[in-house]
Amino acid sequence: MEIAQNILLTIATAATPLLIAAIGELIVERSGVLNLGVEGMMVIGAVCGFAAAILTGNAWIGVAAGIAGGALLSLLFGFLTLSLATNQVATGLSLTLLGIGLSGLIGEGFVGKAGVRLPTLDIPVLTDIPLVGRLIFGQDPIFYMSIALTAGVMWFLFRTRAGLTLRSIGDNHKSAHALGIPVIRYRYLAVMFGGACAGLAGAHLSIVYTPQWVENMTAGRGWIALALVVFGSWRPWRVLAGAYLFGAVTIGQLHAQALGFGIPSQLLSSLPYLATIVVLVLISRDRRLTTMNTPASLGQPFVPDR
């Protein structure tokens, strides 16, 4: 049974960065902005987090640096798409390319160095409860942050006036502007929240998941996070379910490889991506489901008339 707990723990660790990045992007998309640069912001968060942790010897400073790195890069995206009204898809794609290149440059001197790991929670007695102790009371702090973040975003979106305003902007930015809602300001804040989340998700990879720096270490997780937002049809708890499903698929294929199933490892590694495609196809078949939940002004540039 100890094996089962270990498997569940690894699933949670694999799912956490997906969940955090996806929840951040969910807020961005709910405000009507499509930021395809999640992968780039994540990898910048990973390298900034890793470097700051090594240089200061403090993993928490690393986490903060990861968040700051992601937020800073998203600010560039915000400036281009919100203030200059550039095409969001093209800008987001270039943000990913920029992030990957820049992280390689920053991380050049850190390749192969041993990183600083964020300690897991250890509460005497509670953590030692058999079967579930480590699962509930013995994980890394970012895991708990990810759960709190999901609950917080849910509460914000559906229980607060600011959340209602954010949703209204995503639904129709022209109407929102006509009512005097500061569309651009809300979107800047949403974009930076998304960037901070992507940065945190990246820092989780390089400080908790595998405390080392490898170029391009996000390995497509940013894209999965983007797909998860659609998968969860812009609902936080569905995104959480999706993140754990994909975490399980990722871990499952590792175990399958270890057990030596007669399936080529390349095919197994591609499972999460294939699953993304299958899920997207299934979801987009139900048009009512997608259109009811899709922020209607998603991806459209907004230029207020003056």
Partner 1 sequence: MNDVGATSSSPTLLKVEGISKTFGELKANDSVNLDIVPGEIHALLGENGAGKSTLVKMLFGSLQPDGGTIFWKDQPVVVTNPMQARALGIGMVFQHFSLFDALTTAENIALSLDEKIAISTIAERARALGDAYGLPLDPNSVVGDLSVGERQRIEIVRCLLQKPELIILDEPTSVLTPQEAEKLFETLFQLKSEGKSILYISHRLEEVQRICDRATVLRHGKVVAHCKPSEETPSSLASMMVGADVDAVERASKEGPEGDALLEIRDLNRAAASPFAVPLTAISLAVKAGEVIGIAGVAGNGQGELFEAISGEVLQKAAGEVRLRGSDVGRLGITQRRRSGAAFVPEERLGHGAAPTMKLSENLLLSRYRTDAKAFLGSLGVIRNGAITKATKRIVEEMDVRKSAEDPEAAALSGGNLQKFIIGRELDRKPAVLVVNQPTWGVDAGAAAKIRQALIELARSGSAVLVISQDLDELFEVSDAIAVMHNGKLSVPLPIAEATYEKIGLLMGGAEPGHASHGVELGAS
Contact residues for partner 1, defined by CB under 8 A: 161, 164-165, 167-168, 171-172, 174-181, 287-288, 291-293, 295-296, 305-306
Give the nearest distance from C-beta 91 to partner 1 in angstroms.
20
Q: How far apart are CA 102 and CA 137, in angstroms?
A: 37
Q: Give whichever of 104 and 301 is closer to partner 1, judged by the CB atom.
A: 301
Q: Give whichever of 141 and 301 is closer to partner 1, judged by the CB atom.
A: 301
Give the nearest distance from C-beta 152 to partner 1 in angstroms.
20
Give the nearest distance from C-beta 87 to partner 1 in angstroms.
14
50, 56, 57, 60: CA torsion to nearest 10:
-70
Give the nearest distance from C-beta 173 to partner 1 in angstroms.
10
Give the nearest distance from C-beta 78 to partner 1 in angstroms.
22
Q: Give whichever of 63 and 229 is closer to partner 1, judged by the CB atom.
A: 229
User: Three-state secondary structure along the chain?
Assistant: CHHHHHHHHHHHHHHHHHHHHHHHHHHHHHCCCCCCCHHHHHHHHHHHHHHHHHHHCCHHHHHHHHHHHHHHHHHHHHHHHHHCCCCHHHHHHHHHHHHHHHHHHHHHHHCCCCCCCCCCCCCCCCCCCCCCHHHHHCCCHHHHHHHHHHHHHHHHHHHCHHHHHHHHHHHCHHHHHHCCCCHHHHHHHHHHHHHHHHHHHHHHHHHHHCCCCCCCCCCCHHHHHHHHHHHCCCCHHHHHHHHHHHHHHHHHHHHHHHCCCCCCHHHHHCHHHHHHHHHHHHHHHCHHHHHHHCCCCCCCCCCCCC
Give the nearest distance from C-beta 285 to partner 1 in angstroms.
14
Q: Give whichever of 83 and 160 is closer to partner 1, judged by the CB atom.
A: 160
Q: Give whichever of 178 and 274 is closer to partner 1, judged by the CB atom.
A: 178
Q: Give whichever of 126 and 296 is closer to partner 1, judged by the CB atom.
A: 296
Q: Give whichever of 31 and 253 is closer to partner 1, judged by the CB atom.
A: 31
Give the nearest distance from C-beta 86 to partner 1 in angstroms.
17
